[in-house]
Amino acid sequence: MTPPIRRFDAIVVGAGGAGLRAALQLSEAGLKTAVVSKVFPTRSHTVAAQGGIGAALGNMGEDHWLWHMYDTVKGSDYLGDQDAIEFLCRTAPEVVIELEHYGLPFDRNDNGTVYQRPFGGHSANFGEKPVQRSCCAADRTGHAMLHTLYQRNVWAKTQFFTEWMALDLIRDPSGQVLGVIALEMETGEVSILHSRATIFATGGAGRIYASSTNAFINTGDGLGMAARAGIPLEDMEFWQFHPTGVAGAGVLITEGVRGEGGFLLNKNGERFMERYAPNMKDLASRDVVARAMATEIKEGRGCGEHGDYVLLKLDHLGEERIEKRLPGIREIAKKFANVDPVRDPIPVVPTAHYQMGGIPTNYHGEVVAPKGSNPEAPVPGFYAAGECACASVHGANRLGTNSLTDLVVFGREAANSVIEFLQENPGHKDLPGDAADRTLARLARLDGQKNGERVADVAAELRRTMQAHCGVFRFPDLLAAGVQKIKRVAERVARTEIKDKSKVFNTARVEALELDNLIEVATASMVSAAARQESRGAHDRSDFPKRDDVNWLKHTLYFKEQYRLEYKPVHLKPLSVEPFEPKARTY
């Protein structure tokens, strides 16, 4: 049985920052566009971003996109593609100004320009000293940005399919992408959304970890769909642990706290980052700060009864400054840590936060995969932007504020690429007759399963495995055991059972389908991590403690089929400037 078919020029899957920016571009170009989202758009994870969006506006003093580029390349531990990074940093000021024109309520300086705060890893003059580059709306920048982009889409009359979950990608025998199969949650009906071009902006998969800053919806749906459709996943071993998640709760505390002058203390009251990063101190890159914190805890200098967290002190900023620049943090600290940061420090631990890897793209947002001798042949009709994509601008470690920049720069660029593609490729290509078969079989398996396991139990085992075997510090025996364990979890995922078989808004079914995606991401991450024999950025191995540019200055490509790994070169050549040669990374 073929599900009903709806036709569009373009489909955007995901309505966070990247999806909404892409949708706006497509709507304004007059294309028939559908935005498919599991949640109402303003409930997308972009809304949780706090500290700001990075762009060298130079409002606070001298700044230059080339300095931003240097910081990003260095922050990536030289794994980032320098053509994509140049594109990101050069385009950033323009897209941030565009957001201001859309109405984003940025904080202001006395002269009326956008206020910018310092942030980790961002420096002036190639690492000389911290620079103020993060454009912010208090500590609610993501909220302000997501609402502004949604509002602009309301203005542009974009068509939304809200509370629809995309289940699988449709590819024809030539490999061209022709849309998605999607589930309307309210009715439980499955449809084919047939399109001439498809953009994935489905966000990250931070929910593969037990302790995560990520929302429940961050289940890597785009990555799962891509992997099942034979598309590789790039650099999945690189997971960012944000230094400051609230201990116990995992809720994010922005790096902007340290940008505004807060700092970390161990149980001796020592400002320990001075030892690890004498120049940038608490504003070193996130991987550096997270490792320093984990080391302090491991070596017995953690705080509290169990010595399992450190403290983030900001009371010295004063109540007025905290209320003006960090009001949301005060609210979160009171609610989730039971402390008022105006008086007391916040207990924090490194917490899984961001996936640097994803669906491989070039800097035009086109999804690329190996074909013949070309490691990066565009997959016709398929585009990706934001956290689900790997351009790769973040390499082995993302700088704070660059995620929001990534969303708008590449959301817009992917849409521009679609517009160009559609001009050259008029009309819909025919759907293959079996377009929905595998998806319907997956749904039928789930509904027919007898004596299966509960989704919650299998998901919990997946999260525990990732947390224990693929964390801040990685060990060869734990990684090898982790690969075996996660494969066993995958077998269990194939046998999950839901008791509730009803059609209307069946969230049990949605959670089971999300687990199908989580397991693809978890497996890709564990297998890729076990194979990379070096330490780079967020990937830190006890048996290979040094970066190895001779053997490992290359991107990982993971294929679902037989857990196969391939590698491809890093783009060391920027678009117009001289390359930044890999060198030792200190802060």
Partner 1 sequence: MRFSVYRYNPDADAKPYMQDYDIALQPTDVMLLDALVRLKETDDSLSFRRSCREGVWGSDAININGRNGLACITRVAELKEPVVLKPLPGQPVIRDLIVDMSQFFNQYHAAKPYLINNDPIPERERLQAPEDRDKLNGLYECILCGCCSTQCPSFWWNPDKFMGPAALLWAYRFITDSRDQATGERLDDLEDPYKLFRCHTIMNCTEVCPKGLNPTKAIGHIRELLVKRVT
Among the listed residues 335, 371, 445, 573, the single contact to partner 1 using CB under 8 A:
335
- Least separation in angstroms between residue 535's CB and partner 1 is 32
Beta bridge mates, 355: 239
Of 370 and 452, which CB lies nearer to partner 1 in the complex structure? 452
* Residue 408 interacting with partner 1 (CB under 8 A): no
* Residue 294 interacting with partner 1 (CB under 8 A): no
Q: Among the options 133, 196, 207, 286, which is catalytic?
A: 286
- The stretch among 96-104, 445-453, 477-485, 560-568 that binds partner 1 (CB under 8 A) is 96-104
* Count of residues interacting with partner 1 (CB under 8 A): 59
How many helices (H) and strands (E) the chain has is answered by: 16, 22
Looking at residues 228 to 287 of the shown chain, list those that interact with partner 1 (rule: CB under 8 A).
248-249, 251-252
- Least separation in angstroms between residue 206's CB and partner 1 is 12
Residues whose CB is less than 8 angstroms from the CB of residue 300 and which lie 6 or more positions away in sequence, other chains included: 307
Among the listed residues 11, 84, 85, 217, the single contact to partner 1 using CB under 8 A:
217
Q: Decide: 161 and 115 in contact? Cβ < 8 Å.
A: no
Looking at residues 368 to 397 of the shown chain, list those that interact with partner 1 (rule: CB under 8 A).
none
- The stretch among 14-22, 109-117, 307-315, 553-561 that binds partner 1 (CB under 8 A) is 109-117
Residues whose CB is less than 8 angstroms from the CB of residue 320 and which lie 6 or more positions away in sequence, other chains included: none
Residue ranges of E strands in 151-223: 159-162, 164-171, 177-184, 189-200
* Residue 154 interacting with partner 1 (CB under 8 A): yes
Using DSSP, state whether 260 is helix, strand or coil.
coil
* Residue 155 interacting with partner 1 (CB under 8 A): yes
The region, left, alpha or beta by phi > 0 then psi within -120 to 50, assigned to residue 505 is: left
The region, left, alpha or beta by phi > 0 then psi within -120 to 50, assigned to residue 118 is: beta
Among the listed residues 7, 28, 42, 567, the single contact to partner 1 using CB under 8 A:
42
291 is catalytic: no
CA geometry: angle 227, 232, 237, nearest 5 deg: 95
Q: Decide: 395 and 77 in contact? Cβ < 8 Å.
A: yes
Question: What type of residue sits at position 353?
Answer: H
Looking at residues 474 to 503 of the shown chain, list those that interact with partner 1 (rule: CB under 8 A).
498-500, 502-503
Residues 583 and 586: their CA atoms lie apart, in Å, by 9
- Least separation in angstroms between residue 350's CB and partner 1 is 18
Residues whose CB is less than 8 angstroms from the CB of residue 426 and which lie 6 or more positions away in sequence, other chains included: none
- Least separation in angstroms between residue 287's CB and partner 1 is 24
- Binding map of partner 1 across residues 425-454, x = CB under 8 A, - = no contact: -----------------------------x
Question: What type of residue sits at position 506?
Answer: N
Among the listed residues 111, 268, 562, 576, the single contact to partner 1 using CB under 8 A:
111
* Residue 216 interacting with partner 1 (CB under 8 A): yes
Sort 430 into a burial class: Cβ within 10 Å, 0-12 / 13-18 / 19+.
exposed
Long-range contacts formed by 178-184: CB under 8 A, 24+ apart: 178/381, 178/428, 178/429, 178/431, 178/432, 178/435, 179/8, 179/11, 179/431, 180/11, 180/13, 180/36, 180/225, 181/3, 181/435, 181/436, 181/439, 182/36, 183/509, 183/510, 183/513
Of 448 and 579, which CB lies nearer to partner 1 in the complex structure? 448
SS3 content of the chain, % helix, strand, coil (to 5): 40, 25, 40
- Least separation in angstroms between residue 584's CB and partner 1 is 38
Record the tokens describing residue 54, joined without a space: 């990075």
Among the listed residues 4, 320, 433, 504, the single contact to partner 1 using CB under 8 A:
504
- Least separation in angstroms between residue 300's CB and partner 1 is 25
Of 39 and 284, which CB lies nearer to partner 1 in the complex structure? 39
* Residue 137 interacting with partner 1 (CB under 8 A): yes
- The stretch among 27-35, 328-336, 388-396, 550-558 that binds partner 1 (CB under 8 A) is 328-336
- Least separation in angstroms between residue 152's CB and partner 1 is 6
Of 40 and 473, which CB lies nearer to partner 1 in the complex structure? 40
- Binding map of partner 1 across residues 527-566, x = CB under 8 A, - = no contact: ----------------------------------------
- The stretch among 34-42, 198-206, 231-239, 576-584 that binds partner 1 (CB under 8 A) is 34-42
- Least separation in angstroms between residue 164's CB and partner 1 is 14
- Least separation in angstroms between residue 505's CB and partner 1 is 4
The DSSP-derived string for 498-546 is -S---STT-HHHHHHHHHHHHHHHHHHHHHHHHH--S-BTTB-BSSS-S
Q: Decide: 587 and 279 in contact? Cβ < 8 Å.
A: yes
Helix axes 141-155, 402-424, angle to 10 degrees: 30
- The stretch among 63-71, 110-118, 374-382, 578-586 that binds partner 1 (CB under 8 A) is 110-118
Pairing type for strands 129-135 and 53-54 reads: antiparallel
Residues interacting with partner 1, by CB under 8 A?
39-40, 42-43, 45, 47-48, 57, 97, 100-103, 105-114, 137, 140, 143-144, 147, 151-152, 154-155, 186, 215-217, 248-249, 251-252, 328, 331-332, 335-336, 454-456, 498-500, 502-508, 511
Question: Annotated active-site positions, please?
Answer: 286
